[in-house]
């Protein structure tokens, strides 16, 4: 129960990674506010779980979300930004503007909006943890996923900047960089893959819990790889 009583806001709280992350934080004692476009209280029937719907598509939506959490709980101790999306399969010159905008919206702008919304409260508290799930491709770009890789690289840069700007206020900020994860969506997208080399979402969730705890208070500005057995 290393996170007992910590008010934890998890974006993208339901899904292939969001579900095990939410369950791990509840198991660690956190008071979890889970956010997604379609989340319901019954998705996590736990007395310390609160469901709020939001798509974080604008700064105003993120500000309202943060304000609602603060109004109810009085503070935000931990932000876990799991929300994101993937598109690929084309070279850069073949990538249309709609795909670029989608990747930037899902993987960068939403993170910018919610971080900007929670930081004033964390600065008033002089404490907080900000953790974002980026991707291996945010630091090791791959062919045919230029817009995705660039959006995740922007996310890594954003969180590192937040770490630098708040390191003297008891606020840490880090990214986790998973390789291909063993989720239902990835299995459906690549049914012939050798999934034994894929990263287990439970491993990513456990790392996020550790980084949110007091035991990791001096870790900030890090981009931590979780590649499993992948080359």
**Full set of structural domains in the chain with CATH:** 7-226 (3.40.50.720)
Q: What is the pTM of this model?
A: 0.96
* Band (190; pLDDT cuts 50, 70, 90): confident
**DSSP3 helix / strand / coil % (the chain, rounded to 5):** 45, 20, 35
Asked if residue 167 has pLDDT above 80, the reply is: yes
SS3 at position 190:
coil
CA-nearest of 29, 30, 35, 32 to 15 is 35
pLDDT tens-digit readout, 59-99: 999 999 999 999 999 999 999 999 999 999 999 999 999 99
CA 142, CA 93: separation in Å to the nearest integer?
Answer: 15
The answer to whether 12 and 84 have CB atoms below 8 angstroms apart is: yes
Distances (CA, A) of 44 to 48, 135, 146, 185: 9, 26, 35, 20
pLDDT per residue as tens digits for the range 120-146: 999 999 999 999 999 999 999 999 999
Asked if 30 and 78 touch (Cβ cutoff 8 Å), the reply is yes
Instruction: Categorize the per-residue pLDDT at 194 as very low, low, confident or very high, splitting at 50, 70 and 90.
Output: confident
The pLDDT tens digits of the residues spanning 9-58 come to: 999 999 999 999 999 999 999 999 999 999 999 999 999 999 999 989 99
pLDDT of residue 211: 98
pLDDT on residue 193: 87
Does pLDDT of 231 surpass 80? no
Q: Cα separation of 192 and 28, whole Å? A: 35
Burial of 75 (0-12, 13-18, 19+ CB in 10 A): middle
């Amino acid at each position: 129960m290393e996170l007992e009583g910590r008010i934890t806001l998890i974006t993208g709280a339901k899904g292939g990674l969001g579900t095990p992350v939410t369950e791990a934080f509840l198991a660690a004692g956190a008071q979890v506010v889970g956010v997604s476009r379609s989340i319901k209280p019954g998705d996590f029937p736990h007395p310390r779980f609160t469901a709020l719907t939001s798509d974080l598509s604008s700064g105003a939506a993120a500000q309202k979300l943060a304000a609602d959490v603060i109004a109810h709980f009085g503070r935000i101790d931990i932000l876990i930004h799991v929300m994101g999306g993937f598109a690929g399969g084309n070279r850069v010159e073949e990538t249309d503007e709609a795909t670029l905008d989608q990747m930037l919206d899902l993987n960068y702008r939403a993170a910018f909006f919610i971080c900007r919304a929670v930081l004033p409260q964390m600065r008033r508290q002089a404490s907080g943890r900000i953790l974002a799930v980026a991707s291996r491709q945010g630091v090791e770009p791959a062919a045919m996923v230029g817009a995705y890789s660039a959006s995740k690289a922007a996310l890594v840069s954003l969180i590192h900047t937040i770490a630098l700007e708040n390191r003297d206020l008891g606020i840490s900020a880090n990214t986790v960089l998973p390789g291909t994860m063993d989720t239902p969506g990835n299995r459906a997208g690549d049914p012939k893959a050798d999934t034994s080399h894929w990263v287990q979402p439970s491993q990513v969730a456990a790392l996020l819990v550790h980084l949110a705890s007091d035991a990791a208070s001096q870790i900030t500005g890090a981009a931590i790889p979780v590649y499993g057995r992948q080359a």
